[in-house]
Chain A
Amino acid sequence: DALLPAPQNISILSTNMKHFLTWSPVIIQGETMRYSVEFQGEYEREYANESWIPISECSLITGTVCNITEDISATVAYNLRVRADAGARRSEWGTLKGLFNRITTSLTPPVLKVIADGYHLLVDLEDMGPAFQFLVLYWKKGQERRVQQKVVKEVRSVVHLDTMEAGADYCVRAQTYVEAINRSSSFSQTQCVRAQGDKSMWLV
Chain B
Amino acid sequence: SVAEIRAGFAAIKANIQARDPIRTHSILSHPRSLHKVKSSDRCCITHHLFDFYVDKVFKHCKTEDSYVNRKISSIANSFLSVRRKLGQCHEQNQCMCGQESTEKFKQILANYEGLNVTSAAMKSLGELDILLDWMEKSR
Contact = CB atoms under 8 A, between A and B. Distances in A.
Interface of A: 39, 41-44, 46-48, 53-56, 70-71, 73-76, 78, 130, 179-180
Which of B4, B74, B77 lies at the interface centre, i.e. has the most chain A CB atoms within 10 A of its CB?
Answer: B77
B72 to A, nearest CB: 9
Nearest to B67: A56
B66 interface: yes
Which of A44, A73, A78 lies at the interface centre, i.e. has the most chain B CB atoms within 10 A of its CB?
Answer: A73
Contacts of B74: 70-71, 73-74
Instruction: Please report whether the interface of chain B is mostly helix, strand, loop or mixed according to DSSP.
Output: helix
B81 interface: yes
Contacts of B1: 75, 179-180
Interface in B3-50: 3-4, 7-8
Interface stretch (B54-62, B105-113, B123-131): B54-62
Contacts of A44: 73
Interface residues of B, number: 21
Interface of B: 1, 3-4, 7-8, 54-55, 58-59, 66-67, 69-70, 73-74, 76-81
A73 B58 contact: no
Contact of A71 (B59, B73, B80, B81): B73
A158 B55 CA distance: 46
B81 A74 contact: yes
B70 to A, nearest CB: 6
Contact of B8 (A41, A73, A130, A179): A73
Which 3 A-B pairs rank lowest in CB-CB distance, beginning with the nearest?
A: A74-B77, A41-B77, A43-B76
Contact of B73 (A43, A56, A75, A180): A43
A42 B77 contact: yes
A53 B81 CA distance: 19
A41 B3 CA distance: 19
Contacts of B54: 43, 47
Given A47-B54, A74-B4, A41 B66 contact: no
Nearest to B1: A180
A189 to B, nearest CB: 30
18 contacts: A39-B73, A41-B77, A43-B77, A47-B76, A48-B76, A53-B69, A53-B70, A53-B73, A56-B67, A73-B8, A73-B74, A73-B77, A74-B80, A76-B80, A76-B81, A78-B77, A130-B3, A179-B1
A180 B80 contact: no
Contacts of A56: 66-67, 70
A180 B4 contact: yes
Given A47-B55, A47-B58, A48-B58, A76 B69 contact: no
Given A47-B55, A48-B59, A179-B1, A74 B78 contact: yes
